[in-house]
Amino acid sequence: MTRLRGLGGRLLTALGTLGFVLVLNFVIFRAMGDPRHDLARNPHLTEEAQNALIKQRGLDQSTWVQFVRYIKDTLSGDLGTSFITNRSVTEELLNALPNTLVVAGLATLLASLAGPWIGLLAAWKRGRPRDTVLTQGAVVLYSMPSFWLGMVLIAVFAQWWRLLPTGLAATPGSTATGWAHVQDVSLHAVLPVTTLALGLLAQYAVNMRTAVVDTMQEDFVLTARAIGLAPRSVRRRHIVRNAMLPVITVIGLNLGFVLGGAITVEALFSWPGLGLLTMEAINGKDYPMLQGLFLLSSVLVITMNLATDLLYGRLDPRIRG
């Protein structure tokens, strides 16, 4: 019963946060200006189209009526119409989301496997040359802006060695299908995935090293060593399992933010995901699209935060319920 109450409390917190985001999403973009004036400045729409869109979206109604309609439309999956493409925002987001899932998912998977392992190797030889090399290398990678790291990878692997394409999700004009198309897309995804993964990997390595060093000083680890347990057993059963808890939290929260759109990486490589869509919406003052992107990003962050919270409870019996 206690566990069920804990789960219910977490779900209510997530729903309450989502409700706050819905209200904020309505207020913040109208605080930036009247949407009707933004439509009038949009060169992609004629005056007739502007008037039709204003009437269709109820922008000529009072703020309260607009808010009620906004809540109803959002709950039904209607996020409005893009000022730039004049297409459904929901449709545009659903088209871009899979591309972001490919890059962010692969980058997170690679970083989640390699980062903690590197941090563990460094911490296990704390103060020795291996620790210095791995830790300093991770710190250097972690401090690099993603766009600068991406440009370095483009210069080396696309311009100098000419092994990989510089951007886009597929070769322009390509008619490849099936496995050939998969290979083409995979080749184009190497650089953006690597750029995103290296930054995440460095962060996870630094976090894991810190967590392992702290855990090695805990009383239960000292006790396990004192009773004669093998070093490998102490490391696997006591140190790694407990040190992974804060790292898992960071990975879960980062996944929500990364899925929300790696703007600089996708813009740099012209990868047609949520990040590139965000950049185009900002440049074109496409407020309905920005509103939809903000809502989707918030939902992803809230969902991953909830999933991480529940997973944390499974890994650490002390906080269950």
The predicted-structure confidence for 151-181, as pLDDT tens digits, reads as follows 999 999 999 998 999 888 888 887 778 889 8
Pairwise CA distance, residues 106 & 114, whole Å: 12
Q: Which residue has the tokens 């993964």?
A: 197
pLDDT of residue 188: 93
Handedness of CA 58, 61, 63, 66 (dihedral sign): negative
pLDDT of residue 198: 93
Farthest-apart Cα atoms in the chain, separation: 82
Find the range with the poorest average confidence among 6-20, 85-99, 186-200, 307-321. 307-321
Q: Which amino acid is at 318?
A: R
The pTM for the full model equals 0.85
pLDDT of residue 226: 85
271 secondary structure, DSSP code: -
Pairwise CA distance, residues 274 & 281, whole Å: 10
- Most trustworthy range by pLDDT among 18-22, 216-220, 314-318: 18-22
Which CATH architecture group holds 95-319? Orthogonal Bundle (1.10)
pLDDT of residue 121: 92
Q: Are 45 and 53 in contact (CB under 8 A)?
A: yes
pLDDT of residue 222: 84
Does the pLDDT value for residue 201 go beyond 90? yes
pLDDT of residue 197: 93
* HEC letters along 108-175: HHHHHHHHHHHHHHHHHCCCCHHHHHHHHHHHHHHHCCHHHHHHHHHHHHHHHCCCCCCCCCCCCCCC
Express each pLDDT in 254-312 by its tens digit.
887 787 657 889 989 999 998 889 888 888 778 889 899 999 988 988 888 888 887 77
Does the pLDDT value for residue 47 go beyond 80? no
pLDDT of residue 38: 64
| Percentage of the chain modeled with pLDDT above 70 | 91
Task: Report domain extents, the chain.
Answer: 2-75, 95-319
Query: H or E element: which one contains 224?
Result: helix 219-226
**What is the pLDDT confidence band of residue 317, given thresholds at 50, 70 and 90?**
low
Express each pLDDT in 102-139 by its tens digit.
999 999 999 999 999 999 999 988 889 999 999 999 99
Pairwise CA distance, residues 274 & 99, whole Å: 8
The chain-wide mean pLDDT, for the chain, equals 85
- Burial (Cβ within 10 Å: 0-12, 13-18, ≥19) of residue 149: buried
Q: Are 65 and 268 in contact (CB under 8 A)?
A: no
Kindly state the average pLDDT of the residues 75-89.
86
Which regions of the chain does DSSP assign to beta strands (E)?
none
